[in-house]
Amino acid sequence: MKVLVAVKRVVDYNVKVRVKADNSGVDLANVKMSMNPFCEIAVEEAVRLKEKGVASEIVVVTIGPNTAQEQLRTALALGADRAILVESNDELNSLAVAKLLKAVVDKEQPQLVILGKQAIDSDNNQTGQMLGALTGYGQGTFASKVEVAGDKVNVTREIDGGLQTVALNLPAIVTTDLRLNEPRYASLPNIMKAKKKPLDVVTPDALGVSTASTVKTLKVEAPAARSAGIKVKSVAELVEKLKNEAKVI
Amino acid sequence: MTILVIAEHTNAALAPATLNTVAAAAKIGGDIHVLVAGAGCAAAAEAAAKIAGVAKVLVADNAAYAHQLPENVAPLVAELGKGYSHILAAATSNGKNVLPRVAAQLDVDQISEIIAVESTDTFKRPIYAGNAIATVQSSAAVKVITVRSTGFDPVAAEGGSAAVEAVSGSADAGKSAFVGEELAKSDRPELTAAKIVVSGGRGMQNGDNFKHLYALADKLGAAVGASRAAVDAGFVPNDMQVGQTGKIVAPQLYIAVGISGAIQHLAGMKDSKVIVAINKDEEAPIFQVADYGLVADLFEAVPELEKLV
């Protein structure tokens, strides 16, 4: 079966971001960018399904600026077969992204779509679920285990109190949680080979999708800073401070 | 203006996060209706009717809604939600699972995990693991929003007397089925609602050593949490994880033991009122946010702390 994986180019998770002085957003000039960690897990899961003989082809797709080709090449080096870039320089909201992905799904007809559960920049946790609604497919969000069995996929999900397993009819949408797998590293020969794999570039217009949004960001501020704390010398001093100064125990 | 709040519940009881969500709805202003969708959920509906400030409770009791499968619940909420100005749900694993599906069905954007209400259409929410706070404005006809519980003090669970009305919705969509669940058992307070949280990280070295934290937590009436490192190492189950990808907590007192304080962990606890860090590495980033830091071996400090509190 064909598997479609959506990936996103985001600021590297180790970077401590700074808010711009004019409060228009976060300063991303000259900041290291990478594939969103949850998307890496999605690519890895697709590659493992291919290695098990369940998946026959892996198509990786991203929506973003031309530079997002780097993340597609990374996914190709990890084992994806071909890539699609939907090129847009606008900052798109989840619904617009889900609509663009729906157009790609209509064209590619995958049996399984794998996304990360959230992107670490916008922290929205929406796109997979929205794609579920637009396609009408079942959704297995926050997956920590995925098993394809015949025309169904069993997804074990991380929920607040523990784990829940659901069975979804294929085609279906899965969003990955951290513990689904440990993503591999791309080897140098595979990085070289990935340069020769096909990468198509399309535009939202060509897909016939409007990316208009009903939500706009008015400003972005730094969070309130915590006042500096103190170091205590002993456990006794700590308990004394908690009881008499902070009055929390 | 009427607001629909999706109740978080276990069929038999209402989850505390519902009270925080109603509080957010009260800040927006207008009549508040609560939807309880489930199977055999009369008890949860009764509890919802008693919440202070709730005008009406809608009950959709159907076997298809038993496990809150989004393929079944989202069409119901989208259909009911058309007549409302806002649809709110708690940003729990359930709320996050169902609500974006509702928003897409209504063809509107969703605003995730708000921590403050500025006006009826403007909200604040953290982005970049809580390292920036965005103020966003929605022009959608129906504003679909998830609420971070720790951003709003809960309303009173008693004192209301809302009318309860049964609603019917679509049946099983036939796309998904519940297979089973494994819930972690704990007698301690729930992590996201606890007044005190004691968390352990990689410095605990193994799962057995968490007994020191459990002993301390029991003495304090606290919940026990963990960093991702402790969960990945298999010390404790994943539902104990505090952080950007785990649970967001804001207790009165957060005690971080053997936790270095990575950005992703801080995202889940830095709104705690008082933070205590116990770590033997005095350079650990956790000391930059801790109100009280103790540079010490946790295996000596924690048992001593347990004795003294």
A208 at B interface, C-beta within 8 A? no
Going by the DSSP 8-state scheme, the letter that residue B286 receives in this structure is G
Cis, bond preceding A171 (omega within 30 deg of 0): yes
Distances (CA, A) of A80 to A45, B122, B183, B277: 11, 41, 35, 44
Going by the DSSP 8-state scheme, the letter that residue B14 receives in this structure is B
Residue A89, token pair as written in the block: 């320089």
pLDDT for B115-149, tens place per residue? 999 999 999 999 999 999 999 999 999 999 999 99
pLDDT bucket at B23, cuts 50 / 70 / 90: very high
How many inter-chain contacts (A to B, CB under 8 Å) are there? Answer: 251
Bridge partner list, B200: B226, B257
pLDDT at res. B81:
96
The answer to whether the CB atoms of A219 and B74 lie below 8 A apart is no
Distance from CA of A200 to the nearest CA of B (A): 27
Helix or strand run (H / E) with residue B265: helix B263-266
Closest in B112, B237, B276 to A125, CB measured: B112
Residues of B within 8 A of A19 (CB-CB) are 132
* Whole-number Å distance between alpha carbons of B170 and B175: 13
The answer to whether the CB atoms of A169 and B92 lie below 8 A apart is no
* Substitution target from A41, A147, A213, A238 for chain B, most B beta carbons within 10 A: A238
pLDDT at res. A234:
96
CB within 8 A of A52, min separation 6: which ones? none
Closest in A127, A133, A164 to B74, CB measured: A133
The answer to whether the CB atoms of B132 and A17 lie below 8 A apart is yes
pLDDT at res. A123:
97
Closest in A129, A168, A238 to B176, CB measured: A168
- Burial class (CB within 10 angstroms; exposed 0-12, middle 13-18, buried 19+) of B301: buried
Torsions phi, psi for A219 (to 5 deg): -160, 160
- B122-127 vs B116-117, strand pairing mode: antiparallel
The answer to whether the CB atoms of A249 and B135 lie below 8 A apart is no
The answer to whether the CB atoms of B293 and A229 lie below 8 A apart is yes
pLDDT at res. B6:
98
pLDDT at res. A117:
98
pLDDT bucket at A171, cuts 50 / 70 / 90: very high
* Whole-number Å distance between alpha carbons of A19 and A27: 6
- For chain B, the first-to-last Cα distance in angstroms comes to 50
Distance from CA of A165 to the nearest CA of B (A): 5
Is residue A227's pLDDT more than 90? no
ipTM comes to 0.94
Among residues B280, B300, B287, the alpha carbon closest in space to that of B212 is found at B300
Going by the DSSP 8-state scheme, the letter that residue B288 receives in this structure is G
A174 at B interface, C-beta within 8 A? no
Among residues B234, B257, B229, B259, the alpha carbon closest in space to that of B245 is found at B229
* Whole-number Å distance between alpha carbons of B277 and B291: 8
pLDDT at res. A110:
98
The mean of the pLDDT values for chain B is 96
The mean of the pLDDT values for chain A is 96
Average pLDDT over residues A44-59: 98
Beta strand residue intervals within chain B, DSSP E: 2-6, 31-38, 56-61, 86-90, 110-114, 116-117, 122-127, 132-138, 143-147, 163-166, 176-183, 196-200, 223-226, 253-257, 274-279, 292-295
**Stated pTM of the model:** 0.95
Q: How many CB atoms lie within 10 A of CB A178?
A: 23
* Whole-number Å distance between alpha carbons of B147 and B89: 6
H helices of B82-165, where? 93-105
Between B298-308 and B210-220, two packed helices, what is the crossing angle to 10 degrees?
20
CB within 8 A of B231, min separation 6: which ones? A179, B237, B238, B240, B241, B246
The answer to whether the CB atoms of B239 and A168 lie below 8 A apart is no
The answer to whether the CB atoms of B136 and A218 lie below 8 A apart is yes
Residues of B within 8 A of A154 (CB-CB) are 179
Residue B264, token pair as written in the block: 């992703």
Residues of A within 8 A of B170 (CB-CB) are none
Average pLDDT over residues A183-207: 97
- For chain A, the first-to-last Cα distance in angstroms comes to 58
pLDDT bucket at B233, cuts 50 / 70 / 90: very high
The alpha carbon of residue A193 and the mean position of all alpha carbons in its chain are separated, in whole angstroms, by 24
* Whole-number Å distance between alpha carbons of A78 and A47: 8
Closest in B100, B110, B181 to A164, CB measured: B181
Count of positions (residues) in chain B: 309
Q: What is the radius of gyration, based on Cα positions, of chain B?
A: 21
pLDDT at res. A226:
86
Phi-psi region at B238: left, alpha or beta (left = phi > 0; alpha = psi -120 to 50): alpha
The answer to whether the CB atoms of A139 and B97 lie below 8 A apart is yes
* Substitution target from A28, A137, A164 for chain B, most B beta carbons within 10 A: A164
Is residue B170's pLDDT more than 90? no
A249 at B interface, C-beta within 8 A? yes
Is residue B2's pLDDT more than 90? yes
